Structure 1
Amino acid sequence: MTTLPQISGAGATDPAELAQEVVRFAGPSGTIDLAVLDAVLRAWSPNTRRAFRSDLTLWDDWCRRQRIDPAKAGAVDVAAWIRALAGTDPSAEEIRATATIERYLVNVGWAYRMAGFADPTAAPLVKLEKKAARKALGVRQRQARAIRFKGDIADFDSPASGVCLAHLLKACRRDLLGLRDEALLRTAYDSAARRSELVAIDIVHVDGPDGQGAGTLFFPDSKTDQEGEGAYAYLSPATMKSIARWRDGAHIDRGALFRRVETHFDGSVAGVGREALHPNSITLIYRRLIRAAHAKKLLGSMSEAELERWVAAVSSHSIRVGVAQDNFAADESLPAIMQAYRWRDPRTVMRYGAKLAAKSGASARMAARLSAESSSARPGEEDSHN
């Protein structure tokens, strides 16, 4: 009988529960490497543990449907799974993005190694199938549509345009739900926080205001802070005031800052919950506020069809993408952006700014210059050179 490492904790990402998952996966034929299992599960963040459990379940379900024993699956079976996920084989599987398939294989590979089995995901055949999937699907990831502070504008002094933070703030209700939404939006923009970071904010993590009314937000851990060093983010005076109004209105003295606001059937506020918001609720809040801004005619002449396209493209990452684009528009350097908003991979930040760069790069400047020269030419001058 396998004796599992003693790891404390509870919940869906409890390391002890994941250890049991690996034991079930290994079955009687496996030989659990307890040292690796213990070290890996303690080293992983809650988000990584959650992804591992989810991906292992997907692989197990697919194997069962194919009448394959996961413990005995080989490279041929993994290759077939990749083709199903990439849509290159007729299958009932939902087509996944290249990056998602890569993540599945990494986690499934870890499960085999922890269970003491040969890792079929490391076989040459699987590497070739991954390459074929990248070719078929492309490697560009679908990017959440950006929510910038004033929208897609070139000059920060210009009025706000379309779906933007300024209009979502105006769309917030004048009750407890609105106070929560405003504080959430402002905190998300100032800190460029990921959804997991937003919902994990505790009252003790917010420090200030200082003499100028600003504050700081401490992140004890995050997706890119595997060592648990923590990081700080700046909170503007306007954000600190909105947090204070929300806390006073909801009587929050301790615990989670952002909580569920319960409403009656007619939409009126019934009360404030005690637990932190679920990470999935962040996207839903952004989408609700976009619809509210549209209903209040804040988004200009946007059609219903364009509204639905916007809502579908928005995610909990949209403000973080917008923050990156606003910083690029303000000519902030890449290292400064990465340091301020806790990015580790410069390629990610550059991808967020790619669309903006196209509008302000050399080709855009050249086109603007030629357009200006053309418009200043005398009538008929162009024809004289033909």
Structure 2
Amino acid sequence: MADAASDGLAPIAAAILGPLGAPFRFALSEEQLASAQDYVTQQQRHGTRGLAASSCRTRAADWLTWLAFCAHYDRVVLPARFDDVRELLDQLVAAGRKKATLEHLLWSLADIHRRHGCPGPMDSAIARDYWRDLVREQLDGEQRQAAPMTLDLLDQLVTALLAHPLTVRRVAAGLRPVAEHAQRRRRARDAAMLHVAYDLMMRSAELVAMEWARLMPLPHGGATYRLGKTKTDQAGVGRTLYLRPATLAALDAWRTQSSQGEFVFHAISDDVHLDPAGAPSEAVGAQWQTRRERARQREQRPLGTREVSAVFRRAVSLAGLDLDLHWLTGHSARVGAAQDMVRAGSSTAQVQVAGRWASERMPIRYAERVLARDAGEDRFAKLAAMQRRRDRS
């Protein structure tokens, strides 16, 4: 069913039985089924998808949530009734889900209904009234912000990565040097990643997609990186960004230990340095050879986006810092860099350009505390100066 949702359609024949053995219920008309089939045919003929891969994945997750609800309560999957959607929304609100989560679920349901030629469950006037009441009385748009990784924190994390004693997991005595070597490589990679994430204010997806070929060292220190397609540059016009000399040094240190493949940041495996010639037996040597080849293939692929947050949190753990690890994420470098820029006197418009945001909304949100402090201090300093002038007169 996840595949069905990623295509934006529910294949009826493949979705007859739910997880409990009961059939899913559909009430699609012949005209709606024909419309859906025509859409699939046209999509296959033209090779179109219409949405980014991440959007397809999140829509699939929402669709599975709706399927699970329908299977549990024996409700019609398509077309969805407003009463049923309202019941699901009420349950999600009671479970503590945020406004953004509910908005995304409603977008996914509306998109899938549209592709089936069905009216959306929230298209009616009463549905819109319900949503306005829900937002006004039970929901708020406040979202918890990722913890900022400022330049000061970056220095602490990198120092911890490079200076903290190695702590390899329990391995056979003969394989301990291999595990320690992998740990050193991992720390060199993580240090370089932290530097790059801060300097380029990169999103997780941009970070793991970095390629060595786009990195150009400068004659007097530092480097530039040519960024291609991004979330806010779907046309791939590209941007040239600057890396500090310290960041280039970290990248150079990592490059000498990397797999020398296409991608800058890749997974690291202990097995890549197994030596079959040193195996205790011929059979074990053959196993090590197979494991080494698989590890080499794995190291040619980029990291997944989820690993970026794990890298940040591992570094915080090594540094022994008292931070809320749950909220140090792949966005933390963007938040911290935005706050540092504002502290240094940059405008939110300049932060917007540096971070490649589509508007000033996110820079303002990320730097909200800094901006509030500066505005408050400036306000009361001016009031104090006015009072002094008045007292002198």
TM range (shorter): 0.7 to 0.9
In structure 2, do the counterparts of structure 1 residues 27 and 79 end up closer, same or farther at CA, with 3 Å as the change threshold? closer
Q: CA deviation at 1:133?
A: 3.3
CA contact (8 A) 1:207 1:217 kept: yes
CA contact (8 A) 2:335 2:366 kept: yes
1:324 and 2:338 correspond: yes
Q: Which residue of 1 aligns with 2:365?
A: 351
Which of 224, 230, 241 in structure 2 is aligned with 1:222? 230
Question: Could you tell me how far apart the structure 2 residues matched to 1:27 and 1:278 are?
Answer: 39
In structure 2, do the counterparts of structure 1 residues 340 and 370 end up closer, same or farther at CA, with 3 Å as the change threshold? closer
Q: Which residue of 1 aligns with 2:316?
A: 290
Structure with more helix by fraction: 2
Question: Could you tell me how far apart the structure 1 residues matched to 2:159 and 2:87 are?
Answer: 51
Q: How big is the alpha-carbon RMSD for the aligned residues of Structure 1 and Structure 2?
A: 3.2
TM-score under structure 1 length normalisation: 0.75
Unaligned stretches of 5+ in structure 1? Answer: 1-11, 88-93, 151-163, 265-269, 300-306, 375-386
Question: Could you tell me how far apart the structure 2 residues matched to 1:95 and 1:342 are?
Answer: 32
Q: CA deviation at 1:224?
A: 1.9
Larger radius of gyration: 2
In structure 2, do the counterparts of structure 1 residues 171 and 138 end up closer, same or farther at CA, with 3 Å as the change threshold? same
CA contact (8 A) 1:214 1:234 kept: yes
In structure 2, do the counterparts of structure 1 residues 37 and 142 end up closer, same or farther at CA, with 3 Å as the change threshold? farther
Q: CA deviation at 1:373?
A: 12
Q: Which residue of 2 aligns with 1:48?
A: 55
1:65 and 2:79 correspond: no
Question: Could you tell me how far apart the structure 2 residues matched to 1:318 and 1:106 are?
Answer: 27
Question: Could you tell me how far apart the structure 1 residues matched to 2:74 and 2:47 are?
Answer: 30
The amino acid across from 1:18 in the alignment is S
In structure 2, do the counterparts of structure 1 residues 226 and 137 end up closer, same or farther at CA, with 3 Å as the change threshold? same
Q: Which residue of 1 aligns with 2:302?
A: 276
Q: Which residue of 2 aligns with 1:383?
A: none
Does the residue aligned with 1:211 lie in a helix, a strand or coil?
Answer: coil
Unaligned stretches of 5+ in structure 2? Answer: 16-25, 164-183, 272-291, 388-393
The amino acid across from 1:279 in the alignment is T
* Cα displacement string for residues 28-86 of structure 1 (whole angstroms, at most 9, x for unaligned residues): 74231518973895332221122122222222222222211211321111222221221
Q: CA deviation at 1:184?
A: 0.2
In structure 2, do the counterparts of structure 1 residues 226 and 66 end up closer, same or farther at CA, with 3 Å as the change threshold? farther
Q: CA deviation at 1:313?
A: 2.2
Does the residue aligned with 2:304 lie in a helix, a strand or coil?
Answer: coil
Question: Could you tell me how far apart the structure 2 residues matched to 1:60 and 1:41 are?
Answer: 25
Q: Which runs of 4+ in 1 moved over 4 A?
A: 24-29, 366-374
1:148 and 2:162 correspond: no
Does the residue aligned with 1:274 lie in a helix, a strand or coil?
Answer: coil
Question: Could you tell me how far apart the structure 2 residues matched to 1:189 and 1:213 are?
Answer: 18
Q: Which residue of 1 aligns with 2:6?
A: 18
Question: Could you tell me how far apart the structure 2 residues matched to 1:55 and 1:66 are?
Answer: 17
Does the residue aligned with 1:258 lie in a helix, a strand or coil?
Answer: coil
Q: Which residue of 1 aligns with 2:194?
A: 185
Aligned identity (percent) is: 26
> 5 Å matches for 1:1-386?
18-19=6-7, 21-24=9-12, 29=29, 30=33, 31-32=35-36, 34=39, 38=43, 42-87=49-94, 94-135=95-136, 136-150=138-152, 164-173=153-162, 175-204=184-213, 206-252=214-260, 254-263=261-270, 273-294=299-320, 299=321, 307=322, 310-361=324-375, 363-366=376-379
In structure 2, do the counterparts of structure 1 residues 118 and 359 end up closer, same or farther at CA, with 3 Å as the change threshold? same
Question: Could you tell me how far apart the structure 1 residues matched to 2:317 and 2:343 are?
Answer: 27
Residues matched between the structures, number = 324
